[in-house]
Structure 1
Amino acid sequence: MALTLDDATLDRIDEIVPPGTSLYSPDGAWRPPSLTDTAQRRRPLADRAAG
């Protein structure tokens, strides 16, 4: 099934995100909390193996 957007819709999209704008940020502007919050990456000390 094909989707065709009319000119008004495409113009509105261009108003929201101007042509040529890159939404990709290689510097990592947003990172999930599971990567940035140490508490979410590690088990509690009492639950860790004493290896």
Structure 2
Amino acid sequence: MRLRKLAAELGRPLTHLALAFVRAHPAVTSAIIGPRTHEQLADLLAGADLVLEDDVLDRIDEIVPPGTDLNPLDADYLPPSLTDPALRRRR
């Protein structure tokens, strides 16, 4: 995988690259992590200091262009809460 290769070039695991990529987006105010084990938590926390330079972000965009839908099952799916306004209200 090209993203895994890029992470290796940076000397970091892919989990660190993924977390740093999410945090680099200007609209993201926090990244929610969901570790299931202490080892996963330790790994994610170890990557919290990674800040990606613009050239690395550009390389990621070349590998996976913005707006790419990686899961074909998600294509054209609109959750009911987007199609039925009543589902967006508390009762």
TM-score (norm 2): 0.27
The structure whose RCO (Cα within 8 Å, separation 6+) is larger is 2
Q: Which has the higher helix share?
A: 2
Question: TM-score, with normalisation over the residues of structure 1?
Answer: 0.44
